Amino acid sequence: MVESIHGGVHMLKAILAAAGRAMALMAAVTLIPIIEGGKLVWRAARAVLAPQPPSAAAEAEEAFEAEAAKPAPAPAPLSPAEAWGRAALHHMQGSPPEASAALDDAARGYLDGLSVEQQIALSRHDTVVIGRHLLRERPLPGLPRPMTPTEHRGIEATRAGAAATVASQSLSREAEMRDFVLAVLQELIDEPMPRRG
């Protein structure tokens, strides 16, 4: 029942539109009485002052211009997964750091730790899939599991501790070498000079 009413409404709109176009054409035509051969004859003449009916091309152009005048819709905000995926691709391509600002240090460390083959395998996926992998929502098979920020901080602390130990040992060796050189120099200074004679 509703479909037939709905179809009837469309039919009524089409009939009214056709009637409106016919009325516009009638307004553009004027009947003029002319006497020909002693008879009164009505001739149809196009009205000069009546507005010309719009052509289909003009209507299409107006519709196109109206559509073009509408402001472009604002882009939808990216989901976190898509933002991370895009940032990861930028990071792997060597783009400036601003392009990968969405990533945390753990994600950057993970991406830097991947081999070239693993980076290629990761970049073959959609940005949303890459982002979900980095956010640890859906790990990708064949790739290492991304670190959590806590795991990353732990690894960085271990690295920093190892570097500090190496630096401390290096300083200790340098101090030992300096002490040895000073002792040798002191012995040379304390040794009596041989007499010539």
Domains of the chain by residue range: 80-147, 149-190
Tell me the pairing of strands 29-36 and 39-46.
antiparallel
Beta bridge partner(s), residue 43: 32
- The pLDDT of residue 77 is 81
- The pLDDT of residue 17 is 78
Task: Pull the structure tokens for residue 154.
Answer: 């732990």
Residues in the chain: 197
* pLDDT tens for each residue of 12-46: 777 877 877 777 766 667 777 788 888 888 777 66
* pLDDT tens for each residue of 68-119: 777 777 777 878 888 888 888 988 888 887 777 778 888 888 888 889 899 8
**Rounded CA gap, 85 and 146, in Å?**
13
pTM for the whole structure: 0.45
Q: Which residues contact 102 (CB under 8 A, 6 or more apart)?
A: 83, 84, 86, 87
Task: Pull the structure tokens for residue 197.
Answer: 């004679």
Task: Pull the structure tokens for residue 11.
Answer: 């039919």
**Rounded CA gap, 126 and 42, in Å?**
74
